[in-house]
Structure 1
Amino acid sequence: MRTNLSVEEALELVLGEVRGDLEAEELPLREALGRVLAEDLASLVDHPDQDDTAIDGYACRQADTLGASPESPVRLRLIGEAPAGRPFPGRVGPGEAVAVYTGAPIPEGADAVVRVEDTRREGEGVLLFAPASPKDIRPKGDDLKRGEVYLRRGDLLTPGRLGLAAAMGHPRVRVFRRPRVGILSTGDEVVEPGEPLPFGGVYNSNAYSLLGLVLEAGGEPVLLGKVEDRPEALLERLEGAGPLDLLLTSGGVSMGAYDVVRRVLEERGEVVFWKVKQQPGGPLLLARLGGLPVLGLPGNPVSSMVTFFLYGRPFLFRLQERTDPPYASLWAKALTPFRGAKGKKVFRRGVLALGEEAVVRTTGNQSSGVLRSMAFGNALVVIPPDGEVREGERVEVIPLTFVP
C-alpha cells in the first residue's frame, strides 16, 4: 500500500483502475440526452440536399439585376414561388424571378437571391432596389456531407448534438450504459433525513451529495444505505452490493478506532493507496474488493464532495471514454486572500464571476464540515503546497460544473 501521495500521483492510480469496456445499448434519440456515444456517427444525408436560400426573397439571375438601386429599380416578372418543402418545378429565365422562402431550394436557372426588404411587389412583377447576390445561397452539403463523421465515440449527447444526430438521419443511437456506482455511508451517528435526530447524530447528507455528483457525471447511483461502525456489518454490505463498476464509501477511512472501512479493505481486499497530500480530503483511500474498485471518501461533507469531483468524476469519464475533460481550470484575480497549507495542495471553495476579468472570492468559513460552501460556491481555488494567495493576486480556479 502506498501512502501520502501527491494529488497527481493519486489521480494516476485512480485512473489506472479503469479496466474493460462498458456495454453499449441502443436508444431512441428522445431518450439519449446526457448519454455517451458508443460509436462514430456519419451523416446519412447531405444537408442541405441541394442549394437553398438562407433568406426570404426572390431567386433570379444576378446578371439581370446589376445596377438596381432605389433611384433606378429593376423590374422582373414573377413566375411562381417556392416555400420550404415545395420546390419550384420550372426554370428561371432572363428577366424572371421566383419568390423563395428560407430553406427553399434555389430554382434551376437562378444563381442569386435578393432580400425581400430590398423589393416591392407590383402586380405580376417585382421591383428590385438592390442587386441580387449569391452570398445568401447555401450550397448543397454546406452543413452536412453524406458519409462524413460528425459525432464520435465518447461524445456526450448534448441538446445540440441530439439535434445534429437527427439532422444526419439517425432515429436511434448506440450509447454506453451508465456506470453503476454504489454509495455506502458509514457511522453510528448517521441518520436518514426525516428520522428523529438523536443527540450527536447527523443527517446522511453525503449519500445525496454523492448521488447528485454521480448523476451529473453520467453514472447510475445505487444507494446502499448506511452501516454501523462494525467490521462484520460493513463487510456483509460490501459483499452484497451487487454488480457495480465503482463503489463509493463515505467515512471510516481516517485513523480513529471506529474508522473500520480501511481496516476491512486491508484484510479482505487490496488497498492501493491511503492518504493524499491535499486539503480537504487527505484521508482518501483507493482499494479493490474482489476486482471492484473502491474509493473510500472522507466522512466530512466537503471532503467527500471535493474528493469525488477530483477523482471519482475523472474515473467515470474515463470509463465512459468521454471526449470532454472531467474538469478544467482557469486563472482569476483573487478578491480575498486564500490560505494554503504546509506540504499540501489546497482546494478552497470560492465564488467565481466571469466578466471582462475573471475574479474569485472566498465563500467564507472553509471548514470541511461546512456544506454551504459547496452549495453556494461555484469553484475550487487551487493553492500549491506551502503557498498562499493574497488579495489582488492571480490564482488557478476549477469551476464546479454542478453549481449554476
Structure 2
Amino acid sequence: MRQNLSAEEALEAILERTRPIAELEHLPLASAFGRTLGVDLAAKVSHPQTDDTAADGYACLQADTLSAQPDRPVRLRVVGVSPAGRPFAGRVGPGEAVQVFTGAPVPPGADALVRVEDTRREGDFVWLLKPATPADIRRQGVDLMEGRTYLFKGDRLTPGRVALAAAMGYPTLPVVRRPRVGILVTGDEVVEPGQPLPHGGVYNANGYALTGLVAEAGGEPIPLGKANDDLEDLRTRLTQTGPLDLLLTSGGVSMGEYDIVRRMVEQEGEVHFWRVRIQPGGPLLFATWQGLPLLGLPGNPVSAMVTFLLFGRPLLFRLLGRNDPPYQRLEALAETPFEAHPTRRAYRRAVLRWEGGQYRALSTGSQSSVVLHSMALGNALVVVEAGVPKSAGEVVTAIPFPEG
C-alpha cells in the first residue's frame, strides 16, 4: 500500500485505474442539457441551406443601385414579397426588387440588399437612398456545412451545444450514462438533521454535500444512509447498494480503532493508496472492494468537500469521458495573507472576485477544518505550497468552486 502521496501522485493513481463508461443513452434534446455527448456529431444539413438575408429590406441587382444617394434616389419596381419560410418564386431582373424579411432566401437573380431604413416606398415602387450591398447576405453554409463535425465525444451539453445539435438536425442525442455513485456516511456520532442531537453528536452534512457535488459533476448520486462504526453494519449496507460505478464514503479512513472503512478494504479489498500530503484532507483513501472503486473521504465535512473537488470530481470526469478540465486554475492577487503548512500543500478557502481588471482573493478567516461555514462563504481554494506562505499583495493560484 502506497502512503503519503503528493496530490499529483494520488490523482494519477486514481485516473490510471479509471476507465470511461461505454454505455450510452439516447435522450430527446430537452433532456440532454448538462449531459456528456457520447459520439462525434456531424451536421445533417447546411445552415443557412441557401444564401439568405440578414436584415429586412429589398433584394435587387447591385449594379442598378450604384448611383443612389439621398438627394438622387434610384427607383425600382417591387415585383414580390419574400418573408422567411415563403421564398419568392420568380426571378429578379434589371430595375426590379423584391421586399425581403430577415432569414428569407435571397431571390434568384438578386445579388445585393438595401435595408428598409434606407428606402422610401411608394405603391409598387421603392426609392433607394443608398446603394444596395451584398454585406447583408448570409452565404450558404456560413454557420454549418453538411457533413462537417461540430460537436465531439466528451463535450458537456451546454444550452449552446444543444441548440447547435438541434440546428444540425438531431432530435435526440447519444449521451454517456451517468455514473452511479453510492454515498455512504459513517460514524456513530452522525445523526440526521431534525433529530435530537446527542451529546458529542453531529448532524449529517457530508451526505448532502456529496450528493450535491456528485450531481453537479455529472454523476447520479445514490444515498446509502449511514453505517455505524461496526464492520458488519458497513458490509450489510454495501451489499444492498445495487450496481455502482463508484463508492464514496466519508469518515472511517484515519488511523483509529473505529476507522472501519480502511479496516474493511485492507482485509477484503486492495488499497491503492492511503494518505495524501495535503491540508485539509490528508487521510484520503483509494481502494477497490469487490471490484468496485472506493474513494474514502475524510469525515470532516470541509475535508470531504475539498478532497472531492480535487480527486472525486476528476474521477467522475474520467468516467464520463469529458474533454474539459474538472476544475480551473487561475492567478489572483492576495488581499490577505494565506498561511502555509510546513510539510503539506494547503488549500485555503477564499472569496474570489474580479475587480480592477484582475482576480482578487480574500481569506474566509479561520482555516480550521471544523469551520464548515467557510465553504458557504468562500467560492475558491487558494493553493499554498508547503512552507511557502503567501503575503497580501502576492500573486496566488486559485481554484474556483464549480458553479452548480
Shorter-chain TM-score category? over 0.9
* RMSD of equivalent CA atoms: 1.1
SS in 1 for 2:304: helix
Aligned to 1:5: 5
* Mean CA deviation greater in 13-22 or 292-301: 13-22
Shift of 1:385: 1.6
Contact 1:213 1:402 in 2 (8 A): no
Shift of 1:357: 1.3
TM-score (norm 2): 0.98
Contact 2:20 2:320 in 1 (8 A): no
Please state if 1:86 is matched with 2:89: no
Contact 2:21 2:179 in 1 (8 A): no
Aligned to 2:32: 32
Matches within 5 A, 1:254-293: 254-293=254-293
Separation (CA, whole Å) in 2 of partners of 1:332 and 1:110:
55
Shift of 1:256: 2.0
Aligned to 2:15: 15
Please state if 1:99 is matched with 2:99: yes
What residue identity is the alignment partner of 2:391? R
Aligned to 2:296: 296
Contact 2:40 2:149 in 1 (8 A): yes
Aligned to 1:360: 361
What residue identity is the alignment partner of 1:389? K
Matches within 5 A, 1:158-173: 158-173=158-173
Cα 1:20/1:137, change in 2 over 3 Å: closer
What residue identity is the alignment partner of 1:65? T
Please state if 1:372 is matched with 2:373: yes
Shift of 1:218: 0.5
Percent identity between the two aligned chains: 63
What residue identity is the alignment partner of 1:300? N
Contact 2:297 2:308 in 1 (8 A): yes
Aligned to 2:51: 51
Please state if 1:381 is matched with 2:389: no
Aligned to 1:121: 121
Shift of 1:235: 2.1
Contact 2:21 2:177 in 1 (8 A): no
TM-score (norm 1): 0.98
Separation (CA, whole Å) in 2 of partners of 1:374 and 1:117:
55
Aligned to 1:191: 191
Contact 1:55 1:103 in 2 (8 A): yes
SS in 2 for 1:174: strand
Separation (CA, whole Å) in 1 of partners of 2:229 and 2:259:
7
SS in 2 for 1:165: helix
Separation (CA, whole Å) in 2 of partners of 1:114 and 1:385:
66
Shift of 1:250: 0.2
Aligned to 2:398: 397
What residue identity is the alignment partner of 1:17? R
Separation (CA, whole Å) in 2 of partners of 1:128 and 1:370:
71
What residue identity is the alignment partner of 2:26? E
What residue identity is the alignment partner of 2:394? E
Matches within 5 A, 1:198-209: 198-209=198-209
* Mean CA deviation greater in 72-81 or 169-178: 72-81
Structure 2 unmatched runs, 5+: none
Separation (CA, whole Å) in 2 of partners of 1:105 and 1:371:
60
Q: Over residues 39-86 of structure 1, what are the superposed CA-to-partner deviations in whole Å (9 max), with x where a residue is unaligned?
A: 111111111110001111111111111132222221111111111001
Please state if 1:314 is matched with 2:335: no
Q: Over residues 203-223 of structure 1, what are the superposed CA-to-partner deviations in whole Å (9 max), with x where a residue is unaligned?
A: 111001000000001000000
Contact 2:349 2:363 in 1 (8 A): yes
What residue identity is the alignment partner of 2:255? M
Aligned to 1:220: 220
Please state if 1:246 is matched with 2:229: no
SS in 1 for 2:358: coil
Separation (CA, whole Å) in 1 of partners of 2:65 and 2:375:
64
Shift of 1:20: 5.5
Please state if 1:327 is matched with 2:320: no
Separation (CA, whole Å) in 2 of partners of 1:126 and 1:317:
60
Contact 2:20 2:318 in 1 (8 A): no
Separation (CA, whole Å) in 1 of partners of 2:295 and 2:54:
53
Separation (CA, whole Å) in 2 of partners of 1:71 and 1:202:
83
Please state if 1:146 is matched with 2:146: yes
Q: Over residues 221-259 of structure 1, what are the superposed CA-to-partner deviations in whole Å (9 max), with x where a residue is unaligned?
A: 000000111122112222332211000000111122222
Contact 2:25 2:176 in 1 (8 A): yes
Cα 1:20/1:377, change in 2 over 3 Å: closer
Separation (CA, whole Å) in 2 of partners of 1:289 and 1:240:
14
Cα 1:290/1:20, change in 2 over 3 Å: farther
Structure 1 unmatched runs, 5+: none
Shift of 1:402: 3.0
Separation (CA, whole Å) in 2 of partners of 1:402 and 1:114:
45
SS in 1 for 2:63: helix
Shift of 1:19: 2.7
What residue identity is the alignment partner of 1:276? V
Aligned to 1:109: 109
Separation (CA, whole Å) in 2 of partners of 1:352 and 1:255:
35
